[in-house]
Amino acid sequence: MSRNELIRRLQAILPAEAVLHDNEDLRPYECDGLSAYKQLPYFVVLPHNEAQVIEILKLCHATRTPVVARGAGTGLSGGALPHVSGVLLSLARLNQIVSINPQARTACVQPGVRNLAISEVAKPYGLYYAPDPSSQIACSIGGNVAENSGGVHCLKYGLTVHNILKLRVLTIAGEVLEIGGEGLDSAGYDLLALMTGSEGLLGIVTEIVVKLIPLPQKAQLVMASFEDIRKAGQAVANIIGAGIIPAGMEMMDKITIHAVEEFLQVGYDLNAEAILLCESDGNIEEVSDEIERIEMIMQQSGATRVSTSQNDLERLRFWAGRKAAFPAAGRVSPDYYCMDGTIPRKHLAKVLQGIEMLSQQYGLRCMNVFHAGDGNLHPLILYDANTPGELEKTEEFGAKILEMCISVGGTITGEHGVGIEKMDQMCTQFGSAELAVFRAIKTAFDPLELLNPGKAIPTLHRCAEMGAMHVHQGADKFAHLPRF
């Protein structure tokens, strides 16, 4: 079917202005947060409701047209990169909070609802939604489900998969599936967990029932400075070893501390090699006790300075610096490449030393910010895309970081997903039998492979080719995409 005919048929489903096909209208959708790689969409559709999405999917299924779902576009692995001859299905206009049930502590929301908006609407009931990615002011809950997002409070409260109960999902053929339920358990396979983190490869989510939890009576934060990043890593182990599960525990290295402090002036210690932020929340008595124990462990672990927030405004200011790490990187470098790997906590110091060695090897600075409590690293490699060869060097540096995560028993993603970015490392982490199972699941849901094709799950042929050559030596995994 010709492009014009497909546009005409889509305009029979949607208002004409909701089918974008002119280049200037398509340009804002050419990439997600992984902006190094761009592809102009074939066209973009902007449905307002589920019924329109169903008709779009039925048309794409009948015409064998690929479909890439997109939320707010804040993803960092290229998961929403458009397909050169497919429909980019924006779910941004499905942005209604359908209902809130304070007694059951749940909310039913559409995928285009912003993460933070759920907590804002739940606050009058004394409730909130716990997962809080750094982009929570902008990212959409549908994208959080697709990537199984976490945030600074995921150590205590879990990832997206631990905070949702039910999904309404559309297959590529436009069939409606109800996955999960509002009870504690249900019969059959755990398709809710399977769908969460599936990166748009299995279905299109149109409604999510999320868990809400009571707002804590009190939250308080300890900020500790360390002269040695290994001591900071040991402090993390000591806190967890003492049986304390903080609401959040984050670490930043020296280059990040300076970048953030220059950006926001939040009061970070510029003499520190590492800063550890550790928050306790709950009722007044348990927070007071836990904070006292955290302060003592920080000091015993070699902290050179320990500060404790005296009010909520100061606590939020300390957190603001950590949550502004990404925009702070954008102020000190023309471009940055955000990695996402997870390692066992005991290897924090070892991996950070390895990253420093790679930084020297490649001649590229790297800011390290991470969810220290669960070992989820976010190295930000600073580079200049206008310098010939520097993006390629950055890619190679990032691949080495992920391979190092695998080598210490970790994994190549904690919350950003695989997308297009980490396809080669999937071949490193998983064997052919595991990848065959992944592909069989994809085929069961989407036999024509029309949903987000070419993402997340590499073919066995690709992995065989990777086995015949070293990653990034003579093989450009994104050769078909224009670079900017």
The 10s digit of each residue's pLDDT in 409-453 is: 999 999 999 999 999 999 999 999 999 999 999 999 999 999 999
Are residues 243 and 229 part of one domain? yes
Q: Is residue 122 very low, low, confident or very high in pLDDT (cuts 50, 70, 90)?
A: very high
Are residues 121 and 42 part of one domain? no
Q: What is the pLDDT of residues 3-38, one digit of tens each?
A: 999 999 999 999 999 999 999 999 999 999 998 889
pLDDT over 50 at 335, yes or no: yes
Are residues 377 and 285 part of one domain? no
Are residues 337 and 295 part of one domain? no
DSSP count for the chain of H helices, then E strands = 17, 19
The average confidence (pLDDT) of the chain is 94
In a domain, 257, yes or no: yes
CA distance 239 to 172: 47
Q: What is the pLDDT of residues 371-389, one digit of tens each?
A: 998 999 999 999 999 999 9
Average pLDDT, integer, range 312-321: 94
Given its phi and psi angles, is residue 407 left (phi above 0), alpha (psi -120 to 50 degrees) or beta? alpha
Final residue in a domain of this structure, among 90, 107, 139: 90
pLDDT over 80 at 481, yes or no: no
Are residues 277 and 379 part of one domain? no
For 374-399, give one letter per residue: b (16+ CB within 10 A) or e. bbbbbbbbbbeeeeeebbebbbbbbb
Are residues 365 and 427 part of one domain? yes
Final residue in a domain of this structure, among 280, 307, 327: 327
Q: The tokens of 44 are what?
A: 């973009």
Q: Is residue 473 very low, low, confident or very high in pLDDT (cuts 50, 70, 90)?
A: very low
CA distance 41 to 234: 47
In a domain, 476, yes or no: no
- Per-residue confidence (pLDDT) for residue 469, from 0 to 100: 56
- Per-residue confidence (pLDDT) for residue 113, from 0 to 100: 98
* Cα pseudo-dihedral 422, 426, 429, 434, rounded to 10: 160
In a domain, 379, yes or no: yes
Beta carbons of 19 and 10 less than 8 angstroms apart = yes
Are residues 445 and 360 part of one domain? yes
- Per-residue confidence (pLDDT) for residue 187, from 0 to 100: 84
Q: Residue 303 sits in a domain of what CATH number?
A: 3.30.70.3450
How many domains is the chain partitioned into structurally?
4
Q: Residue 9 sits in a domain of what CATH number?
A: 3.30.43.10
Q: What is the pLDDT of residues 215-273, one digit of tens each?
A: 999 999 999 999 998 899 899 999 999 999 999 999 999 999 999 999 999 999 999 99
Range of the domain at 419: 333-467
- Distance separating the N- and C-terminal Cα atoms of the chain: 31
Nearest Cα residue to 382 out of 367, 398, 397, 392: 367
Reported as type and span, the H/E element at residue 210 is strand 204-211
Are residues 109 and 133 part of one domain? yes
Q: 333 CB contacts (<8 Å, ≥6 apart)?
A: 365, 382, 383, 384
In a domain, 477, yes or no: no
CA distances in angstroms from 374 to 24, 157, 216, 236, listed in the order given: 42, 12, 22, 10
Q: 177 CB contacts (<8 Å, ≥6 apart)?
A: 167, 168, 169, 170, 171, 203
Beta carbons of 141 and 114 less than 8 angstroms apart = yes
pLDDT over 80 at 472, yes or no: no
Are residues 275 and 308 part of one domain? yes
pLDDT over 60 at 483, yes or no: no
Are residues 398 and 281 part of one domain? no
In a domain, 294, yes or no: yes
Q: Residue 187 sits in a domain of what CATH number?
A: 3.30.465.10
Q: Is residue 182 very low, low, confident or very high in pLDDT (cuts 50, 70, 90)?
A: confident
- Per-residue confidence (pLDDT) for residue 482, from 0 to 100: 42
Are residues 442 and 375 part of one domain? yes
Are residues 131 and 154 part of one domain? yes
Which SS3 state, helix, strand or coil, does residue 54 take? helix
- Per-residue confidence (pLDDT) for residue 242, from 0 to 100: 96
